Amino acid sequence: MALSLNNLKPAAGSTHKKKRVGRGPGSGLGKTAGRGHKGQKSRSGYSSKIGFEGGQMPLQRRLPKRGFTNIFKKQWIEISLAKIEANFNTGDEVNPEILHERGLIKKAKHDLVILGTGNLTKDLKISAHRFTKTAKDKIEKAGGAATEIVKVAEAAA
């Protein structure tokens, strides 16, 4: 018999009947419905808190606190010259907005840094917040221009 939508069945033994609890003594799960006698876990509405260890001091409270998070940490979006080489043609202009449009970086909420990994053969006008030394050298050697974007707040300081 050919397999078609009207005769599809799950593999033998892969499905089980739903366990019906609290349906009389004959079911094997009557009376207390598999919850045992008394106590918090037998009550309706019980749900344990995440990390609760039965009153024992929870692990996350036993361990010491270490370090801190620097909220002023500078974060960079990195992109290599190899990626730029593969996605742009000679004479193109490269900046964070264009890189975002082409899907090479996520929306520029952090500053962009150009890394010197890979080779560059095309002369491109690249604008970024920072360039590594090798990246700047490779861009200028290929006949392109590397322009650093200066933010207004940094310029005023």
pLDDT digits (tens, 9 = 90+) for 15-49: 999 999 999 999 899 999 999 999 989 999 999 89
Task: Find the distance separating the first CA and the last CA of the chain, reported in whole Å.
Answer: 80
Instruction: Please give the helix or strand (H or E) that residue 126 lies within, else none.
Output: strand 125-128
pLDDT at position 2 is 87
| Residue whose tokens read 């043609």 | 89
Quick one: which of 131, 84, 129, 133 has its CA closest to 111? 129
User: Is a pLDDT exceeding 80 seen at residue 152?
Assistant: no
C-alpha dist (Å) from residue 44 to 4, 19, 25, 37: 45, 18, 20, 13
Task: Grade residue 127 by pLDDT with cuts at 50, 70 and 90.
Answer: very high
Residue 1 predicted with pLDDT over 80: no
SS3 94: strand
pLDDT (0 to 100) of residue 61: 94
Over the chain, what is the mean pLDDT? 91
| pLDDT (tens digit per residue) in 58-84 | 999 999 999 999 999 988 999 999 999
Structural domains for the chain? 92-156 (3.100.10.10)
